[in-house]
A and B are shown apart, each in its own frame.
Chain A
Amino acid sequence: MLYVELIAQGLVQGCIYAAIALGLTLVYGLLRILHVAHAALFTLGAYIGVLTTNATGSLALAFVAAMLVSGVAGVAVFRLGYQPILNRPPFVALIASIGLYIAAEEIFRIVFGASGLSFVAAPLQSQVPIFGGLQFKQAEIAVMLGTALIIAVLAYLQNRTRIGVACQATVSDPQMAESFGVSLQMVRDINFFVGSALAAFAGVWVGLLNNLVEPTMGSVPAYKALAIIVLGGLGSVQGTLLAALTLGIIESFGTIYLGKVLDRNAIAFAFLIAVLLVRPQGMFASK
């Protein structure tokens, strides 16, 4: 029974990692930028989520607001931050991204205060007994269902709509796609919008699970999500999903059985090193 619980807890965490890392892998696939500031949009989403819920009492509205605001902010980050330096070597964008993240962290602290925000009446906190003494918070179950749903919707859009196909075409060969009339600008904007909205989605859930959003809440996801997309074979959506869920479960067991030797946040990197030794192209890379 303990193992079942640990797997479930790992999946909850894995779903959150997945939602954060997906946006990152979309950006990497398209522009080859390691977008560290992605974690700032995750934090922004979490703040908007708490503020909207506290003001209106509606969690659904909070998700919509958080995803819209972060989505638009993500497009702004791309247009103002990355677009002007796209023709420079990739490390230029990486450094800009790290700087942007640090600045954002301090802006959150100055605007919203150092001690973070909590929900006045946090929704989805009651217990749901499953079977045999196993019980979960409503929010934990909702994270898993919500992430599965949003990924299914995205997969549908990507494979069944014109824009989705255009995005895929641009990832595999931007010049060819452009010659077929695909607007690169539009594809990049959509990419940042969707990726950032996903980060905000994860941010609101983390806020709900912890009942706390803080200026520094993005600092661990900022680098752990990078490890996840490398594990998943840089730029691969399916690989990222699998890597995120696997890491969630490994961390869940690691916290209990390796906690004294290896910090939970180091497990991701130990795992990364181990995988890269055996499969340098990433755990699930197709190429």
Chain B
Amino acid sequence: MIGWKKTARHCAAVALAAVGLVTGPVSAQTQTKIGFNVPLTGFAAADGASALNGAKLAIAQANANGGLGGKPIELVVYDDQGIAKEAVPAVTKMIEKDGVVVGVSGSYSGSTRAAASIFQTAKIPYVTAYAIHPEITLAGDFMFRVSAMGEVQGRAGAKLVNDLGKKKVVIVTIKNDFGQALAAGFKEAAVKFGLTIQNEYEYGLPDRQFGPIASKIKADNPDIIYASGYFYTAGPLVSQLRSAGITAPIIGQEGYDSDKFIEIAGAASEGVYVTTSLDRDSDAAATKSFLTEYKKATNAGPDMVAASSYTAVAVAIEGLKKTGGKGGDALRDAIAGLTYDSPIGKLSFNDLHEVAKDVQVQIVKDKAFRRHSVISDPVLLAPPTKKK
């Protein structure tokens, strides 16, 4: 009796597997799929929500314009919680089960680094939206990145300090890939500009209480503070620095780039500089149209994460249009050869598939990000190239 049941179960399993084999490739052929790993739960869920909004907008616009050869493009979304061990099964699934022809990372550096080598091994192009760790594009020639790397942004920060006429700097660094990369770039360029780094303090991602650091910085009495973080750490940090009576200007980076930062820090956010890739006061058609369309679609204020994710997905679609939906080597070469007008500037990839572009400096004025200046220095802001 038991044997019979077992056999029946085996038969059912084989039958199901056969159905899977038949339907799998067929559905993959009918619709072009773009894989998207993004932190929808966990510590980075807020950025993940913005990233997904941006990606969805790019897909909706492409599909409204006829999709790919008249067929709609599908976005296959997986939650990676912003951590490597969740990203690995997620992207393996999207490659093996869903049969995506191209992947896009709407996630942080940790998870994107883990996903990168899987895409590289499968020879599927992978476009990174806003993860800034250098290792990502070093995973191989199928990797692309649409945002400026951490070191580059750090160098832009040092130039901004110099442009503002300040000399004595205190650095506050968030202890992860993002913060380390920014600090490394900043310190490298600080030497060039003759800046004095008085002190550097580090904090962890879960920290929201910066009272002790604020007390110490007050004693250091710097001209300016270069502090890395995300809006949910930067909001409390900036507010607590001001509470301690510190009046020195503060420079943040694209992690601050969210209306939520202004909401959390309140009045303390006024006058904070942010080096980022989205210029709210841009005259460029691509940026202006993104800003209006995003607001219309989501009823939320656009931020850097949304703009970068939108751009990464749009770049993938642009490449697919060139190959007529074909993936692999053809798609890699198509994306590598693109010049694309995006909301975060005109993009073209170098031999390491990194982009060279200006860094936008925004300043918080009357509870909104406004243009302060643009850092344009092709030598200082040059992304790394392939090691020959």
- The interface of chain A, by Cβ under 8 A from chain B, is 1-2, 5-6, 9-10, 12-13, 106, 109, 113-116, 118, 122, 125, 127, 133, 135-137, 140, 206, 209-212, 214-217, 219-220, 251-253, 255-256, 259-260, 263-265
26 A–B contacts from the bound complex (CB under 8 Å) = A2-B216, A2-B219, A6-B216, A13-B209, A13-B211, A106-B41, A114-B41, A115-B45, A115-B260, A118-B266, A125-B266, A136-B243, A137-B243, A140-B211, A210-B209, A210-B235, A211-B236, A211-B265, A216-B42, A219-B206, A255-B203, A259-B201, A259-B203, A260-B200, A260-B202, A265-B206
Most buried by B among A140, A216, A260: A216
Classify chain B: how many residues form its interface, as a range: 35 or more
| Residue in B203, B204, B211 whose beta carbon sits within 8 Å of that of A12 in the complex | B211
The smallest C-beta distance from B178 to any residue of chain A, in angstroms, reads 16
Say yes or no: A264 contacts B216, CB within 8 Å: no
Query: Which residues in A have their C-beta under 8 angstroms from that of B266?
Result: 118, 122, 125, 211
The distance in angstroms between the C-alpha atoms of A256 and B215, with both chains bound, is 10
Min CB gap B304→A, angstroms: 14
Docked pose: A116 CA to B45 CA in angstroms: 10
Complex interface residues of chain B between 215 and 268 (CB less than 8 A to chain A): 215-216, 218-219, 232, 235-236, 239-240, 243-245, 258, 260, 263-266
A109–B41 CB distance below 8 A: yes
CA distance A252 to B240 in the complex (A): 14
Query: Roughly how many angstroms separate A210 CA and B261 CA in the complex, as a whole number?
Result: 12
Using CB atoms, name the residue of chain A closest to B199.
A256
Decide yes or no: A265 and B207 within 8 Å by CB, A114-B45, A118-B263 being known contacts: yes
Give chain B nearest CB distance to A248 CB in angstroms.
10
A214 and B232 contact, CB distance less than 8 A: yes
Say whether A212 contacts B216, CB under 8 Å. Answer: no
Closest residue of chain B to A260, judged by CB?
Answer: B202
- List residues of chain B with CB within 8 A of the CB of A260: 200, 202
Q: A210 touching B208 by the CB < 8 A rule?
A: yes
For the complex, what is the distance from the CA of A206 to the CA of B201, rounded to whole Å? 22
Interface residues of B in 28-66 (CB under 8 A from A): 40-43, 45-46, 48-49
Tell me if B206 and A220 are in contact (CB < 8 A): yes
Asked if A118 contacts B264 (CB within 8 A), the reply is yes
B367 at the interface (CB under 8 A from A): no
Instruction: Select one of A109, A211, A220 contacting B239, CB under 8 A.
Output: A211
- In the complex formed, the residue of B with least CB distance to A266 is B204
| Least CB distance, A228 to chain B, in whole angstroms | 15
Q: In the complex, are the beta carbons of B265 and A253 less than 8 A apart?
A: no
Tell me the residues in window 155-214 of chain B with beta carbons closer than 8 Å to chain A beta carbons.
Answer: 175, 200-204, 206-209, 211-214
Q: Which of B288-329 contact A (CB under 8 A)?
A: none
A-chain residues with CB within 8 Å of residue B48 when the two chains form the complex: 114
The reply to whether B215 and A2 form a contact with Cβ atoms under 8 Å apart is yes
Q: Tell me whether B212 and A109 are in contact (CB under 8 A).
A: no
Contacts of B200 in A (CB 8 A): 260
Q: Complex formed: what's the CA distance from A63 to B49 in Å?
A: 31
Contact call A255/B213, Cβ cutoff below 8 A: yes
B203, A109: Cβ atoms closer than 8 Å: no
Contact A210 B211 (CB under 8 A): no
Contacts of A214 in B (CB 8 A): 232
| Residue in contact with A209 in the complex, picked from B209, B232, B245, CB distance below 8 Å | B209
Give Cα distance in the complex from A113 to B201, angstroms: 31
- Beyond contacts A136-B243, A212-B264: 4 other A-B pairs, Cβ-Cβ < 8 A, are A6-B216, A13-B211, A210-B264, A211-B236
Question: Which residue from B40, B49, B209, B215 sits with its C-beta under 8 Å from A115?
Answer: B49
CA separation between A210 and B211, bound complex, in Å? 11
Contact B203 A264 (CB under 8 A): yes
Contact status A10-B265, CB under 8 Å = no
CB distance from B38 to the nearest CB of A (A): 12
Bound complex: CA A211 to CA B267 (Å): 12
- Whether B207 contacts A256 by the Cβ 8 Å rule is no
Contact assessment for B49 and A265 in the assembled complex, using a CB-CB cutoff below 8 Å: no
A263 to B202, CA, bound (A): 8
Q: Cβ of B45 and Cβ of A212 under 8 Å apart?
A: no
Residues of B within 8 A of A5 (CB): 215, 218
Which single member of B41, B208, B219, B244 contacts A135 (CB below 8 Å)?
B244
Given the known interface contacts A114-B48, A264-B207, the answer about A9 and B236 at a Cβ–Cβ threshold of 8 Å is: no
Pair B264/A211 contact, Cβ less than 8 Å: yes
The residue among A1, A9, A118, A214 with the most chain B CB atoms within 10 A of its own CB is A9
Q: Provided the pairs A264-B207, A265-B207 are in contact, do residues A216 and B43 lie with their beta carbons within 8 angstroms? A: yes
Q: Roughly how many angstroms separate A259 CA and B199 CA in the complex, as a whole number?
A: 12
Q: Could you say which of B206, B211, B264 has the most chain A C-beta atoms within 10 Å of its C-beta?
A: B211
Write out the residue numbers on chain A whose beta carbons fall within 8 Å of the beta carbon of B216. 2, 6, 256
